Amino acid sequence: MLIFILGALHAAAAASTAANLARIVPGWSIVPIVDRPGERMNQALCGYDQPFFLTLQAGDWFHASFFPNCKLNCRSCPIISAD
């Protein structure tokens, strides 16, 4: 899964979110976005072949149980849900 962190100009908040994610979903790619979010996201998505990605705000924090449920729910969505 690809995760964008918007508002990464707020370095402490972005680092906190990235550290939280790295701990609970270590295999996922995290892309902090400081500026020009549309351009940066398009660049990252250009070679991305999965149907889903997440966009978060710097400072967001997740409980470890959130992502297993999220992953399960994404798998049960029809592929057209990502359009």
How do residues 9-56 score in pLDDT, each as one tens digit? 899 999 999 999 999 999 999 999 999 999 999 999 999 998 889 999
More confident residue, 82 or 26: 26
Q: Has residue 68 got a pLDDT over 90?
A: no
Q: Which of 44, 43, 37 is nearest to 6 (CA)?
A: 37
Strand, helix or coil for residue 78: coil
Which residue bears the tokens 């991305």? 48
Read off the pTM. 0.81
Domain ranges of the chain: 2-82
Return the percent helix, strand and coil in the chain, to nearest 5: 45, 20, 35
CA nearest neighbour of 75 among 42, 67, 30, 46: 67
